[in-house]
Amino acid sequence: MEKFLKDYEVGDQLLDNVIRDLAKKSSSLETEYLLREILTTSVKLGKESVDRGDLKLVNNTLKELRYSFKVFSPYRAVKKVIIFGSARSKNKSAEYKMSEELSRKLSAKGFMIVTGGGPGVMEAGNKGAGLGKDFALNIRLPFEQMPNPYIDEKEKLINFKYFFTRKLIFVKETDATALFPGGFGTLDEGFEMITLMQTGKSRPRPIVLMEPKGSVYWKSWMSFIKSQLAKKGFIKNEDLSLFKIVRTTDQAVEYIENFYRVYHSIRYVLGLAVIRLNRQISGKTLKLINRKFKDILTGGQIEVSSPTPKEIQEKEFLDLPRLVMNFNLRDYGRLCEMIQVINKD
31-77 confidence digits (pLDDT tens) = 999 999 999 999 999 999 989 999 999 999 999 999 999 999 999 99
Asked whether the beta carbons of 165 and 158 are under 8 A apart, the reply is no
d(CA 343, CA 345): 5
Q: Is residue 172 part of a domain?
A: yes
* Helix axis angle, 332-343 to 249-259, nearest 10°: 90
pTM of the full structure: 0.93
Geometric angle at alpha carbon 277, from 328 and 283, rounded to 5°: 85
In the predicted model, what is the mean pLDDT of the chain? 95
H/E stretch holding 152 reads: none
Closest Cα partner for 333 from 216, 215, 170, 199? 199
d(CA 175, CA 164): 19
> Does the pLDDT value for residue 3 go beyond 80?
no
Number of structural domains (the chain) is 3
Instruction: Specify whether 112 is located in the same domain as 243.
Output: yes
What are the distances in angstroms from CA 203 to CA 173, 195, 198, 260, 342? 12, 11, 10, 13, 16
Instruction: Specify whether 42 is located in the same domain as 93.
Output: no
> Does the pLDDT value for residue 91 go beyond 80?
yes
* Domain membership of residue 93 as a residue range: 73-259
Instruction: Specify whether 17 is located in the same domain as 141.
Output: no
Q: Around 7, how many Cα atoms within 13 Å sit in the side-chain half-sphere?
A: 0
Instruction: Specify whether 255 is located in the same domain as 276.
Output: no
More confident of the two residues 329 and 3: 329
pLDDT of the residue at 4:
56
- How do residues 113-129 score in pLDDT, each as one tens digit? 999 999 999 999 999 99
Alpha helices for 173-282 (secondary structure H): 184-198, 217-224, 249-259
> Does the pLDDT value for residue 144 go beyond 70?
no
* In the chain, % of residues over pLDDT 90: 90
Instruction: Specify whether 327 is located in the same domain as 188.
Output: no
Q: Is residue 122 part of a domain?
A: yes
